[in-house]
Structure 1
Amino acid sequence: MSELLHLDLLKEERVLLAFSGGVDSTALFHLLLEHNITFDIAHVNYHTRESSDAEEQSAIALAQKYNLQYYIHSCRLGGVNFEHRAREERYKFFGYLMKKHSYRYLLTAHQLNDRLEWLMMQMCRGSGLPEMLGIRSHDRRDDIEILRPLLEWDRDSIEAYLHTHNIHHHIDESNADERYTRNFFRHRYSAPMMRDYRDAIRRSFRYLEEDNESLIKPMDFLSAEELSYAHNPHTFRSLLYGIDRFFKSRGILLTQHDKEALKKGGEHIIARRFALSIEKKYTFIAPYEHTVVMDKGFREKCRALKIGVKLRGYLYGAPRAFEVIRRLKDDLTPLRFD
């Protein structure tokens, strides 16, 4: 059995636990108590199962028992692609809480089996190393800094911990439904592998994460009005990964066609909503506004600065964003449009 990861960080800062009441988050809840970590909990009720309300009440009762602050979000998400929209909904809720109450880290209860299942699914989609390691022990999503202390615990060890300490938890009956891709991989492949090769799998993920950190450099986007921009990393792989994460954080998944097109650099339209321009030093992303009528002076200034055509419609009505691009291109002359 492994120790919790990042205990030093957990003991120094205010943390918020994303708590479902299931096996993994319940185990993490009690392990945090054992290690005298100060934390509060956030629970999302999607009302998708008969037990949803009971799980909410259990979360409240558990928080009250240990004098913790609890936050509950209730929502009903109809339509298709529920898993994606549920993820967006809860991280929006978590982000609001993190900012309002000054929490430094969000804790999620992802564990080693989750990591293996994700890697297998990504391999079957033809992904590269960064995508296969999408579940990291220390990560960031938009402005949320995430820690995953259980990431070296496997599911059998977690269940054994709960059983040994006689800790009540809820079971999500949908986990048995193989119509969900993750469940299919879990039951057919990852669970048997984890039982036979747990320690080797744990070590492999440590090595892979170290290798990934040496290969992929972060791409930090800044913003001015609705313009986002970042200094380009040294490798194209880091560039593509940074752009992919930028759009994923906004609920947009790049297609394989998008990714192939990005290899050529230059300008692109993403999801019919965003203009993206990859230049030598910087990458710029802005809303795509192609119906704007611009005056001649502005067009000439854009041409002189070699600003991408697809960005210009937005920049015409965003003077602060335009000024940022001018300065990034080392043009410090006063603005004059004829």
Structure 2
Amino acid sequence: MEKPKLEFLEILRGGKNLLAFSSGADSTALYFLLKSYGINFDIAIVDYGTRCQSILEIQRAKTLCFWDNKQCHILKSPKIEKNFEHNARIIRYEFFQSLALKETYTNIVLAHQLDDKFEWFLMQFCKGTNINAMLIQPHITQRIKDYEYNILRPMLGISKQEILNYLREQKIFYFEDFSNSNTHFKRNYFRYHFTHKILEEFKKGIAFSFKLLEESKLTLALDDLGGYYCFTSTPKDLYAIDLAYKKLGYILSKKQKFQIQKYLNQQEYSLVFGDKIALEKRNNKIYIFPYLLNVRINKQEREIYRKMNLPKKFRQFYHYQQSLKKLPT
């Protein structure tokens, strides 16, 4: 069996990573997959105290970290009286966020997989909502105060059955959460009645449909901001960049796309194609705009643009746009 492929490996290799762990099948598989790809990480686990085996799950997490020389962050959750799923989610995400700030983790890694993605889609679709709410995002950048970190889901293209096959083949132990069989929980109801059965037969088509939906969502989000485009960097950067260039009247060649691809995982870069359209990345934002030269900016204005954290080439275009607004009509 071929080893399941993870997304975001370059981002993970360049960051300080925290894996959300539970000792269940998904997070256990992700633990060993990250190890196999040479990714360094620590783990965080929440003990909700609702099941007898939670003591054993915590011990399993501590044992893995002891042998692999990793930090194991543990939170003993307060008792949740009602709306367990919702409040448990709040507790664990606040825990992960506090660790990111305190320990300067740049990536929080979650073990959601394709079945989870499809299950969420069906739940939201049946509830009645828009496409944005139906899709689990593989990569989200969060900013708290002056600190920025990523939430990454590198297994969204891998099905539950592939995960179980991997664990079985590698003879890796994991705990079965028996609450997953309780169809009182809505997610379990959808999982038992719909998700598994449909994915067994239509996995490839569903995965491809998700890809198209995410690209459609990106197209809708790519708005003209007054002759230029600016959007948060995601794993779909190349697609969005290509689309923005087309909207500005420039068609990127295959060679130019390969050139862009080499820079995508860098924190900052600045490129110009055809002496016409510039592309810059700064502070996790992508800027695409007409390239302007010799725009005069005085010292005071330069300092303002520096504090705004605008890319250097974009400052000239932005200054020119601002000067046009000041002209009498």
Category of TM-score, reference length = shorter chain? 0.5 to 0.7
Instruction: Report the residue type matching 2:139 in the other structure.
Output: H
Equivalent of 1:108 in 86, 107, 110: 110
Deviation of residue 91 (structure 1)? 1.0
Equivalent of 1:146 in 137, 147, 151: 151
- 1-side partners of 2:143 and 2:205: how far apart? 32
Matched, 1:188 2:193: yes
Residue aligning to 1:136: 137
Instruction: Report the residue type matching 1:22 in the other structure.
Output: G
Deviation of residue 195 (structure 1)? 0.3
Matched, 1:176 2:185: no
Matches within 5 A, 1:273-288: none
- 2-side partners of 1:27 and 1:60: how far apart? 16
Residue 127 of structure 2: SS of its match in structure 1? coil
Deviation of residue 141 (structure 1)? 5.2
Matched, 1:87 2:92: no
Instruction: Report the residue type matching 2:7 in the other structure.
Output: L
Deviations 1:51-95 (A, max 9, x none): 111101110001111111110001132321111111111111111
Corresponding pairs, count: 218
Equivalent of 1:214 in 215, 219, 226: 219
- 2-side partners of 1:214 and 1:198: how far apart? 25
Deviation of residue 206 (structure 1)? 1.2
Residue aligning to 2:39: 37
> Contact (CA 8 Å) 1:77, 1:86: kept in 2 or not?
no
Matched, 1:59 2:64: no
Instruction: Report the residue type matching 2:204 in the other structure.
Output: D
Residue aligning to 2:171: 166
Q: Unpaired segments of 5 or more residues in structure 1?
A: 219-230, 232-338
Instruction: Report the residue type matching 2:183 in the other structure.
Output: E
Residue 44 of structure 1: SS of its match in structure 2? strand
Deviation of residue 168 (structure 1)? 0.4
TM-score, scaled relative to structure 1: 0.62
- 2-side partners of 1:51 and 1:142: how far apart? 35
Aligned-CA RMSD value: 1.6
- 2-side partners of 1:209 and 1:64: how far apart? 40
- 1-side partners of 2:80 and 2:105: how far apart? 31
Matches within 5 A, 1:1-338: 2-133=4-135, 135-140=136-141, 143=144, 144-216=149-221
- 2-side partners of 1:187 and 1:171: how far apart? 15
Tell me: CA distance 1:46–1:141, structure 2 relative to 1, closer, same or farther (3 Å): farther
Deviation of residue 23 (structure 1)? 0.4
Residue 191 of structure 2: SS of its match in structure 1? helix
Residue 79 of structure 2: SS of its match in structure 1? coil
Tell me: CA distance 1:142–1:174, structure 2 relative to 1, closer, same or farther (3 Å): farther
- 1-side partners of 2:132 and 2:166: how far apart? 31
Deviations 1:161-185 (A, max 9, x none): 0000000000000000111100110
The sequence identity of aligned pairs, in percent, is: 39
Deviation of residue 208 (structure 1)? 1.0
- 2-side partners of 1:172 and 1:96: how far apart? 26
Q: Unpaired segments of 5 or more residues in structure 2?
A: 226-329
Residue aligning to 1:303: none
> Contact (CA 8 Å) 2:21, 2:28: kept in 1 or not?
yes
> Contact (CA 8 Å) 1:77, 1:85: kept in 2 or not?
no
Residue 48 of structure 1: SS of its match in structure 2? coil
- 2-side partners of 1:139 and 1:204: how far apart? 21
Deviation of residue 139 (structure 1)? 1.6
Residue aligning to 2:298: none
Tell me: CA distance 1:12–1:142, structure 2 relative to 1, closer, same or farther (3 Å): closer
- 2-side partners of 1:129 and 1:10: how far apart? 28
Instruction: Report the residue type matching 2:137 in the other structure.
Output: R
Residue aligning to 2:312: none
- 2-side partners of 1:142 and 1:156: how far apart? 35
- 1-side partners of 2:104 and 2:61: how far apart? 22
- 2-side partners of 1:193 and 1:18: how far apart? 28
- 2-side partners of 1:142 and 1:151: how far apart? 23
Residue 99 of structure 1: SS of its match in structure 2? helix
Deviation of residue 142 (structure 1)? 5.8
